[in-house]
Amino acid sequence: MRQILLITGGVIAAIAFVIGIFTFNQVNKEEAALTARIQVRSQVLAESLVESIQPAFEAGATSSIKRTIDKFVGDQRLSGLAVFDNTGTVILSSDNSPDVIDAELLAAVMGRGEPDGGFARNESGLLYVSVVPIIGENQETIGALASIQSADYIDATIGSIWRDNIIRFLLQTMLIAAAIFALARWVFFKPLYDLAESMRAARRGEAVDDDKIGGDLLLPLSSEIAKMTGSLRQARHAASQEARMRLEKIDTPWTAERLKEFIKAYVKDRPIFVVSNGEPYVNTRGKSGIEWTVPAGGLVTALEPVMEATGGMWIAHGAGEADKAVVDKDDKVRVPHDEPRYILKRVWLTDEEVAGYYNGFSNEALWPLCHMAHVRPVFRKEDWTEYRKANALFAKTLLKEIQGVERPLVFVQDYHLALVPGIIKKSRPDAQVAIFWHIPWPSAAQFSICPWREEILHGMMGADIIGFQTQQYCNNFIDTVASEIEARIDLEHFSIFREEHQTFVKPFPISIAFPGIAEREEKADPALLSRLGIHSTHVALGVDRLDYTKGIPERLKGIEFFFERHPEFIGHLTLLQIASPTRTSVGTYKKHADAVLAEVERINARFGTRDWKPIVFQHRSFSHAELRTLYRLSSMCLITSLHDGMNLVAKEYAAARGDESGVLILSQFAGASRSMKGALQINPYSAEETAEAIFKAASMPKTEQHRRMKALRTSVRDYNVYRWSAEIIKALAELD
């Protein structure tokens, strides 16, 4: 099969190459001949006309010149004629003469005293302009005559040549493909038949089994068809839902399509630039070549659908081992790789810069400073130096991209780039800049321990809008500014005035793409749990980065206390803990990972049997499709964050539960707890509360599960990531 495809491709490529070379040569020859012909004809016409008008021109008889010009235009079917004096000023021109005469060409002809010409275009098509000097009796150039002729037939002739040869190529390709199909139809017949049937079913709106589309033989094609049918299902679902809501006179939910229309209305053609440390796609080298993955984390989860809906440019640090291999000379690549919708521009950082800026100041100073997770922040002068350098590099990269862009919209992300807004605003005051702080903002007293707190605040207030997850974080920021720097606080509009610049501080609780990719109806295959060694009646799911703020040790203590208090569930309930690796080069995270693994082993040794483990620990990342399947298969989802800006796993879990079953156990210290009232909210520091919530979830009647999950899904649908983006963009675009 592969050999047949290679031969077919090689033959078609050879034919295309030969036809392309032939066509290119034919086009060049024909274009040269047609150009020479129109040049000669135009010059002859112009010179003959000059002989007719030269006496009248010297005598200043403009009426005589006008009659001659009108006669020539009528007789020769010229597009226009114009007469100029020796200063290049138009004396006379024919009616409706196109304004395409180049001043430089006119000056060159009168300077040299020799005729010349060239092509020009306007709304009517291709034109040829011929300029001939008017020589006086003393052999001096006293003016010039310009004739304008339509040259559309040149374009038409060239287009006809390309069209004929392309048709010839297509016909040859069809014949070759038909011959190969005739020879190998017994190999292709069944897969192609299944593929055709699946496409017909998709067109009719019927369910399609993705596993049967095309079979293994046509895997690349079937994969693309599967994606198309999935997108078609989503579009039909969104359209029917929107139509139903309109009939019921209810506001339609925010979707990618609605966001696009919103941006057209508010942003017009102004491009949007996102700047973040984390990149949405990481390229690595695998067995089959360069592969790409989507990193875990709320920032990518939230912004990826926004960028796909709006386009624009995302500037981020290229941390993948193969990132440089996929970018162009400007360090750009269009993403997603399989269906490009926007531009990703990568910024390169040295190992020293990463160690100081990212591992050091960002994650050993700012991260613990902003999270009340009882980890002491570490402030090092050398880390601060690298942080400033890296912020300057990101800002410089952005400033280069927005050169020539009027009033660009810039969206800076998170605590890694706190200084970027100030740098941008200093160089481009016209830029409208927003920064969104994804993590909590601490109290003024807590933030005051940072040695470089004033510089950070000044940098952030270069933005026109500073967004936080909750109103409480906005209040904390205002209190911090009032305590640390001289500025005028306007509590009525919740803004800060500093050096005549106004910065608004607003809450924008981040969310997910729902309805949308978060609710794709992949089959919830129980085999995924079997492959993980899970056969329990009840599955409790935890999905986190292996970060000390996520409360994984506290969750494990809660599970241990649950089995102590409810031994009847031993062998019948399993905690599947997915812990994605994160910041593995930071010492605090290494110690935390070791402690978590040790605790898992201890609890498994205490309660486990030969056929069952209370905790199945997966120290790796799972794909979005795998997570959606696990969300649907699990009985409950545990989120025990000690402090969290939002936590989008809670919203992803609710979005995935189209059956409106399952129970969400949610920490009261996660930002999501403010709106997700259908969850069982707990204090994660209390193992007793966690254990009791697990028992309540495992024993909860289906009717109560449906009531709670319906409320959770409604809250996520009403405030999804498209609405989040629209509110920030609207606030930014409406600034004076």
Using CA atoms, how far apart are residues 88 and 85, in angstroms rounded to an integer?
6
C-alpha closest to that of 506 among 475, 480, 479: 475
Peptide bond connecting 440 to the previous residue in cis, omega within 30 degrees of 0: no
Q: What is the pLDDT of residue 521?
A: 57
Chain centroid to CA 599: how far?
A: 40
Q: What is the pLDDT of residues 601-630, one digit of tens each?
A: 999 999 999 999 999 999 998 888 899 999
Q: What is the pLDDT of residue 248?
A: 37
DSSP string for 635-646: SEEEE--SSBS-
What is the DSSP code string of 84-103?
Answer: EETTS-EEEE-TT--S---H
Angle value at C-alpha 588, between 643 and 354, nearest 5 degrees: 100
Per-residue pLDDT of 139-172, as tens digits, reads: 788 888 888 888 888 888 888 888 888 887 788 7
- Is the domain defined by 30-150 classed in CATH 3.30.450.20? yes
pLDDT > 60? residue 562: yes
pLDDT, one tens digit per residue, over 317-351 is: 999 999 999 999 999 999 988 778 899 999 999 99
SS (H, E, C) 519-581: HCCCCCCCHHHHHCCCCCCEEEEEEEECCHHHCHHHHHHHHHHHHHHCHHHCCCEEEEEEEEC
Q: Tell me which of 26-30, 419-423, 522-526 is least confident.
A: 522-526
Min mean pLDDT across 30-39, 309-318, 527-536, 676-685 is at 30-39
Mean pLDDT confidence for 70-91: 75
Which of the residue ranges 237-241, 244-248, 289-293 has the most confident prediction, judged by mean pLDDT? 289-293
Please state the rounded mean pLDDT for residues 525-533: 91
What contacts 591, CB < 8 A, 6 or more positions away? Answer: none
Give the per-residue pLDDT at 649: 95
CATH number of 264-507, picked from 3.40.50.2000, 3.30.1360.170, 3.30.420.140, 3.20.20.70: 3.40.50.2000
Which CATH fold would you assign to the domain 522-718? Rossmann fold (3.40.50)
Average pLDDT value for the chain? 86
Count of all residues that appear for the chain in the document: 736
Dump strand ranges (E) for 60-193. 80-85, 90-93, 116-122, 125-135, 141-150
For 724, the token pair is 């989040």
Pure H helices in 248-332: 256-266, 298-310, 323-326
Burial class (CB in 10 A: 0-12, 13-18, 19+), 391: buried
The SS3 of residue 8 is helix
Q: What is the mean pLDDT of residues 201-224?
A: 57
CA-nearest of 541, 725, 537, 716 to 628 is: 541
pLDDT digits (tens, 9 = 90+) for 654-711: 999 999 999 999 999 999 999 999 999 999 999 999 999 999 999 999 999 999 999 9
* CA torsion through residues 52, 58, 59, 60, sign: positive
Between 219 and 17, where is the model more confident? 17
In terms of pLDDT, which residue wins out, 280 or 337?
280
Give me the pLDDT at residue 112, please: 83
Window from 190-194, 497-501, 538-542, 586-590 with minimum mean pLDDT: 190-194
DSSP codes of every residue in 644-707: BS--SHHHHHHHH-TT---EEEEETTBGGGGT-TTSEEE-TT-HHHHHHHHHHHHH--HHHHHH
| Least reliable range by pLDDT among 99-113, 373-387, 411-425 | 99-113
Of all residues in the chain, what percent carry a pLDDT higher than 90?
Answer: 51
pLDDT confidence of residue 256 = 76
Name the more confident of 450 and 582.
450
Place of tokens 């017009």: 268
Output the pLDDT for position 623.
83
Most distant CA atoms of the chain, gap in Å: 119
- Cα 247 to chain centroid distance, Å, stands at 33
Residue 597: CA count within 13 A, CB half-sphere:
12
| pLDDT at 600 (0 to 100) | 97
Segments of the chain assigned to CATH 3.40.50.2000: 264-507, 522-718
CA atoms of 119 and 232, how far apart (whole Å):
48
pLDDT digits (tens, 9 = 90+) for 88-122: 888 888 777 778 788 888 888 888 888 888 888 88
For 452-493, how does the pLDDT look when each residue is reduced to its tens digit (9 = 90+)? 999 999 999 999 999 999 999 999 999 999 999 999 999 999
Q: What is the mean pLDDT of residues 435-462?
A: 97
pLDDT given at position 225: 65
Q: Which two tokens stand for residue 427?
A: 């160089």
Structure tokens at 92: 């006379």
Residue 421 predicted with pLDDT over 80: yes
Burial of residue 379, with CB atoms counted within 10 A of its CB: 0-12 exposed, 13-18 middle, 19 or more buried:
middle
pLDDT at 367: 95
User: Six-digit token pair at 500?
Assistant: 């005549």
Q: Which of 251-260, 443-452, 527-536 is predicted with the least confidence, judged by mean pLDDT?
A: 251-260
